[in-house]
Amino acid sequence: MLAKKIIPCLDVINGRVVKGKRFQNIQDVDHPVDLAKFYSDAGADELVFYDITASYEERDIFLHVVEEVAAAVGVPLTIGGGIRKLEDFSSVLNAGADKVSINSAAVANPDLIGEAAERFGSQCVVLSIDAKKNNAGSWDVFVKGGRENTGWDAIEWALRGQELGAGEICINSIDMDGVKEGYDLDLNRILSEKLRIPIIASGGAGEMQHFADVLKVGADAALAASVFHYKEILIGDLKRFLQEQGLTVHL
């Protein structure tokens, strides 16, 4: 059995790590390099950085931050936010990233997924989906940092992304984002049953059991931010707990 991964997520605005709830009430947390080094030393399997206003503000991504973090840590880095074309993939990967996450740009131009996978390999392409449950009981895809509803079905979009060449799907529940009441288990269960590529669950972690729950329904990795940023959960303690729950993790 492949080991489940624990991935801290660092949202960045103006060179600082921040955190909010349901994409609102943004608060300053720390410097990205300092926090990345802390997580790398603590046993994080990977790190994800999102420039969370780059797409909305239609500006380029924070390459200087990518370069500094890549030089300081030894774990794989995924970078997202402000990626709009193949040249952006090249810039981010050349700056030291291992994977590139696309969200709004993939919705605007789905062919970008396949073009990036062909040039850089599927393993470099992460399709990130911000999903919000609708009144019909399914999930809609949102873009522009959760500001705009596309009307697309999140499950269907994930399947299409897989067929286009994405190597991973990062599924973020807007409903659960930052509220610490647990991941959207139904959403992750359905995706794990339908997809053959890895799923990264995002949005909702508040206690160790939440990680165990989502990994047990089929997610391959669990991503979280505030519980790690504010040291409410330490990664070493979490991994030992998950191991006691019968899950395979790298200690």
Distance of CA 52 to the CA centre of its chain: 12
Active site annotation includes 11 = yes
The residues, any chain, with a CB within 8 Å of residue 20's CB and separated by 6 or more, are 11, 26, 27, 178
Decide: 47 and 235 in contact? Cβ < 8 Å: no
Dig out the tokens for 77 from the structure: 């880095």
Active site annotation includes 28 = no
- For the residues of 186-235, what is the DSSP string, one character each? HHHHHHHHH-SS-EEEES---SHHHHHHHHHTT-SEEEESHHHHTTSS-H
> Considering 51, 130, 184, 220, which one is annotated as catalytic?
130
Q: Which residues are catalytic?
A: 11, 130
